[in-house]
Structure 1
Amino acid sequence: MTTRRTSGEGIHVFVNGASDVDWARLSVHELAVKEGFAEARAVALATAVSEIARNIAVHAGKGKMSFVPITDGRRRGIVVIARDDGPGIADIALAMQDGYSTKGSLGLGLSGAKRLVDEFHIESIAGAGVTIRLTQWDEGDVRGE
């Protein structure tokens, strides 16, 4: 079994409002390009990050996102860890359904982000926040559930 290793300290973005959503998207896209990702995969990751950052801004008010390059054997990737101390998600399964929204949006943020990346994991504690971990690899179809 190959051990995943981080390469470098990564990039950290504090999300406190709409302008930080844009900064998070730009930062992870630039990192993906620097790491040699194909443009389509870099854009998919940046879009997923944008959706998660927007959820932090809207539902929690503030949080932090970290973007860390990793390796797994010969594969290179980027792990995104998003954390907030907001109210949490009471029913993750419901929140992951397309069309579910508590704020009148299209309800595609979490489910859309999951579809755009290779690995997606979400944890929530009611009243204590949400942690989401996304992983995008630099190669073709490696999607894992």
Structure 2
Amino acid sequence: MNLRSSVDIISEWDIVAARQLGRNEAKDVGFGTVDQARITTAISELARNIYLYAEKGNIEIKQISEGNLKGLLVIASDKGPGIADVRKAMEDGYTTSGGLGAGLPGVKRLMDDFKIETVVDEGTVITATKWMR
């Protein structure tokens, strides 16, 4: 099983579309309402970061399975400025946009697996996975 869907992030409305897609995919995999909310919150943060910092990018959502485990893989990618200091970006409360600073550390807490690949002036790819319990 490896179904995939994606939303290009160009406007604020695309953040809403990505959230909705994430909720639908999570429901389809069989996640309960609490995990659906965690997944949609993580997607919202990732999509908002694309919109704020890179201006455009993509949120890809894949249903995945490993053995008898089922889950959802979220890939947020952009060709924006990249993240100059990943360690700082992963600090709770750190924000460059005046937001709450829950951003990337929040996504990491909400999901089970989390990885950032970034190159300054080339872009960022963040992958986050949630597994069904």
Which TM-score bucket, shorter chain as reference? over 0.9
Matches within 5 A, 1:33-48: 33-48=27-42
Find the counterpart in structure 2 of residue 69 from structure 1.
Answer: 63
Please state how far the C-alpha of 1:13 moved relative to its aligned partner: 0.6
Letter of the 1:114 partner, please give it. Answer: K
Please state how far the C-alpha of 1:106 moved relative to its aligned partner: 1.5
Matches within 5 A, 1:41-120: 41-120=35-114
Find the counterpart in structure 1 of residue 20 from structure 2.
Answer: 26
**Secondary structure of 2:75 counterpart:** strand
Structure 1 segments (4+ residues) deviating >6 Å: none
Q: Which deviations, in whole Å up to 9, do the C-alpha atoms of 1:45-97 show, x marking residues without a partner?
A: 11000000000000000001110011111110011111000000000000010
Partners of 1:9 and 1:63 in 2: CA distance:
20
TM-score of the superposed pair, with normalisation by structure 2: 0.97
Please state how far the C-alpha of 1:8 moved relative to its aligned partner: 3.7
Find the counterpart in structure 1 of residue 115 from structure 2.
Answer: 121
Please state how far the C-alpha of 1:9 moved relative to its aligned partner: 3.5
Tell me the percent identity: 41
Contact preservation (8 Å) 2:5, 2:61:
yes
Partners of 2:97 and 2:40 in 1: CA distance:
23
Please state how far the C-alpha of 1:17 moved relative to its aligned partner: 1.7
Find the counterpart in structure 2 of residue 133 from structure 1.
Answer: 127
The number of equivalent residue pairs is 133
Letter of the 2:61 partner, please give it. Answer: F
**Secondary structure of 1:55 counterpart:** helix
Partners of 1:9 and 1:69 in 2: CA distance:
5
TM-score of the superposed pair, with normalisation by structure 1: 0.89
**Secondary structure of 1:136 counterpart:** strand
Partners of 1:97 and 1:8 in 2: CA distance:
33
Partners of 1:103 and 1:45 in 2: CA distance:
22
Give the root-mean-square deviation of aligned CA atoms. Answer: 0.8
